[in-house]
Amino acid sequence: MYVREEVLKRLNLAADFLPEGYGLMVYDGWRSFEFQHELYEFYKKILAAHQDLQRHDVNLEQWLQRFVAPPIRDPDDPPPHTTGGAVDVTLIFAGAEVEMGTSFDDFTAESATDWYEQKSSLTPHERLIAEHRKILRSAMEKAGFVNYPLEWWHFDFGNLSWAKRLGREPLYGAIWNEKEAFGDVKEN
């Protein structure tokens, strides 16, 4: 897995902000354009087969684009993961993933970062989930990341999504493929 050098430094900083015993586990970082396209098509097929969405007359393409950036080669608006500035992370405690309420890459409303904070009453288990999400978001934000509000696991630094949220210019554009990322690497 690859991320920008500054993103790696900030992930280490975020880990330092976590309470004792907690750590970060990174699911995903930089994606090539080709992989972004494959991922988009993969989830498109899964959603097309999802009976609940079909019954509720949901526009599948719009729903999918809430969670997976469309694979469009636009240098002015690249998919976040193609920049190396987007990461998908979770919390671990004593080396094991903690309960976050949904799985990574869950496409339900419950995956919104503040889902549990918005509920009027929480069970003890839900309070624990809400606390885990707050711990993760707090550490990542202290390290300079911004969270994509529909996904508790997705954070950006330096890319266009980050820049828009903070009213700044992006630091990173797309790295469309492995050759751009790594050059002509030859194995011996």
According to DSSP, the β-strands at 96-97 and 154-156 are unpaired
Distances (CA, A) of 79 to 98, 101, 124, 125: 28, 26, 37, 35
Q: What are residue 93's DSSP bridge partners?
A: 22, 96
Cβ neighbours of residue 150 under 8 Å, at least 6 residues apart? 66, 67, 111, 112, 113
Per-residue pLDDT of the chain (188 residues; tens, 9 = 90+): 899 999 999 999 999 999 999 999 999 999 988 998 898 888 888 877 765 655 555 677 777 777 788 888 888 999 999 999 999 999 999 999 999 999 988 888 899 999 999 998 999 999 999 999 999 999 999 999 999 999 999 999 999 999 999 999 999 999 978 777 766 544 44
- The DSSP 8-state label assigned to residue 76 in this structure reads T
- Computed on alpha carbons and rounded to an integer, the radius of gyration of the chain in Å comes to 17
The rounded distance, in Å, linking the Cα atoms of 140 and 155 is 8
